[in-house]
Amino acid sequence: MARVELKGLRKEYDGAVAVEGLDLNVKDKEFVVLLGPSGCGKTTTLRCIAGLEDVDDGEIHIGDRLVNDMSPRDRNIAMVFQSYALYPHMSVYQNMAFPLENAKVVEREIVERVNRTARLLQIEGLLSRKPAQLSGGQRQRVALGRAIVREPTVFLMDEPLSNLDAQLRVHMRAELKRLQKDIGVTTIYVTHDQVEAMTMADRVALMSKGVLQQYDGPRTIYDRPSNEFVAGFIGSPPINLVPCDLQDGGTLDAGEFQIPVPNQFAGPLKRTACERVLLGIRPQDLTVSAGDSSGTEGEVLQRFPSSSVPAEIYTTEPLGDATILDLKVGAMLLKALVGATFEGDAGTQVVIRFPPERIHLFDRTSGRAIE
Ligand SMILES: Nc1ncnc2c1ncn2[C@@H]1O[C@H](COP(=O)(O)OP(=O)(O)O)[C@@H](O)[C@H]1O
Ligand SMILES: [Mg+2]
């Protein structure tokens, strides 16, 4: 049993706060990803859990023990870093056996554990090689192997794939996810890459400036971002965020266009008395259809706000399997993601629609989701 629990964790460096009031519970065998931009406090959090940093406030529990005052070696944690730090003069076998020799494990058991781990990682054929004779991906596996042989109760991984090329990273991310489930070790994994987080995590803890913003499953983080920061960080291309004023309680006025307030927000908007909002709509959720907005149709659209708005294609960005459209609505630019077969070039008039059920609203002052 190795759940990890952080309560009110706080860490400063020379008076500058790196992590603030962090509460996080990680269940036994769970794969949790700490995600956030560079400098948001991910590595600091891991180092506190590992015992490599003293905390300024808060509690760290591993299993049923409060470990704040426990030395790193007694916490039974293995950490894998971005730089693999293998010993260059030792063979793969020796690299993996080293932590066990240090821990005075008997020789027979060392042989058995190294071989079993090598089989698991499919590096049995490499045991006599030196690190210089390995590819990047193989070295990464050896670094993992060296962590796994110790049979830790918790894995901490700090951007372990970021030195690999893009293709290998995609491959290793699936392997690592599978491996974690196979060996069933509670894992806290740090990355700044939202795709890595979304694809690997049971739950994602998204941080900004040392503060936890949301802690949920990947689907929930994407579908129901708790604030403007989360909405903007997750998703590619990024969500469109448009400042709007609420008019007569029933219309969202973006200046360049007006759409009706979706039903699900009527109650929450009244309750919060919020009149200045950010309208969020993901490029994947905007629908775009061919259409001429001039003449009567345009007038009708203007007089009766509907969820359809006339726009002009400003530029197209083909991705191969889909196309990003940059759309001009007056002076405003919005992005939409459409199928690769979409026909239309710069200058084409279109009608875009904001499906009411796909709209997000945030309080413009606090950034918090209105729900
Ligand atoms: N040893 C240190 N001394 C002083 N400041 C540090 C130290 N380590 C980290 N910081 C600061 O703490 C903040 C969080 O850093 P870090 O945890 O490394 O972020 P991340 O891993 O998310 O990129 C940053 O502002 C960083 O400059
Ligand atoms: Mg870091």
Q: What separation in Å is there between the alpha carbon of 62 and the centre of ligand 2? A: 22
Residue of minimum CA distance from atom 5 in ligand 1? 13
Has residue 304 got a pLDDT over 80?
A: no
Cβ(87) – ligand 1 distance below 6 Å: no
3 versus 179: the higher-pLDDT residue is 3
Has residue 359 got a pLDDT over 50?
A: yes
CB 3 within 8 A of CB 25: yes
Atom of ligand 1 nearest to the CA of 14: 4
**Span 208-267, pLDDT tens digits:** 999 999 999 999 999 999 999 999 999 999 999 999 999 988 999 999 999 999 999 999
Q: Which ligand minimizes its atom distance to the CA of 160?
A: 2
Residue-level pLDDT at 91: 97
Has residue 9 got a pLDDT over 80?
A: yes
What share of residues in the chain are helix, strand, coil (percent, to 5)? 30, 35, 35
Which runs of consecutive H residues, i.e. helices, occur in the chain? 42-50, 92-102, 107-121, 136-148, 166-183, 194-200, 218-223, 228-233, 263-272, 296-303
121 versus 352: the higher-pLDDT residue is 352
Has residue 81 got a pLDDT over 90?
A: no
Number of C-beta neighbours around residue 129 at 10 A: 15
Q: What separation in Å is there between the alpha carbon of 41 and the centre of ligand 1? A: 6
Residue-level pLDDT at 296: 44
Q: What separation in Å is there between the alpha carbon of 49 and the centre of ligand 2? A: 14
Residue-level pLDDT at 1: 66
Q: Both tokens of residue 98? A: 């080293």
Which amino acid is located at 295 in the chain?
Answer: G
**Span 143-176, pLDDT tens digits:** 989 998 988 999 999 998 888 888 888 988 998 8
Has residue 295 got a pLDDT over 50?
A: no
Q: What separation in Å is there between the alpha carbon of 16 and the centre of ligand 1? A: 9
Q: Which ligand minimizes its atom distance to the CA of 39?
A: 1
CB 361 within 8 A of CB 271: no
Distance (Å, rounded) from C-alpha 120 to C-alpha 296?
68
% pLDDT > 70, the chain: 96
Residue of minimum CA distance from atom 20 in ligand 1? 39
CB 149 within 8 A of CB 99: yes
Contacts of 113 (CB under 8 A, 6+ apart): 100, 105, 149, 151
Cβ(44) – ligand 1 distance below 6 Å: yes
Which amino acid is located at 151 in the chain?
Answer: E
Atom of ligand 1 nearest to the CA of 34: 22
Domain boundaries in the chain? Answer: 4-231, 237-363
Residue-level pLDDT at 292: 58
**CATH 2.40.50.140 is held by the domain 237-363:** yes
Distance (Å, rounded) from C-alpha 71 to C-alpha 48?
11
pTM recorded for the entire structure:
0.92
Which of 10, 20, 35, 44 should be mutated for ligand 1, with most atoms under 8 A from CB? 44
Q: Which ligand minimizes its atom distance to the CA of 207?
A: 1
Which amino acid is located at 89 in the chain?
Answer: H
CB 206 within 8 A of CB 213: yes
Comparing 197-201, 257-261, 298-302, 334-338, which segment has the lowest mean pLDDT? 298-302
Which of 9, 10, 11, 13 should be mutated for ligand 1, with most atoms under 8 A from CB? 13
Three-state SS for 88?
A: coil
Cβ(39) – ligand 1 distance below 6 Å: yes
Residue of minimum CA distance from atom 27 in ligand 1? 39
Q: What separation in Å is there between the alpha carbon of 263 and the centre of ligand 1? A: 44
Q: Place 68 in a pLDDT band, splitting at 50, 70 and 90.
A: very high
Distance (Å, rounded) from C-alpha 24 to C-alpha 8?
9
Please name the fold of domain 4-231: Rossmann fold (3.40.50)
Has residue 55 got a pLDDT over 90?
A: yes
Which of 43, 49, 189, 213 should be mutated for ligand 1, with most atoms under 8 A from CB? 43
**Span 85-142, pLDDT tens digits:** 899 999 999 999 999 999 899 999 999 999 999 998 889 999 999 999 999 889 988 9
313 versus 249: the higher-pLDDT residue is 313
Residue-level pLDDT at 137: 85
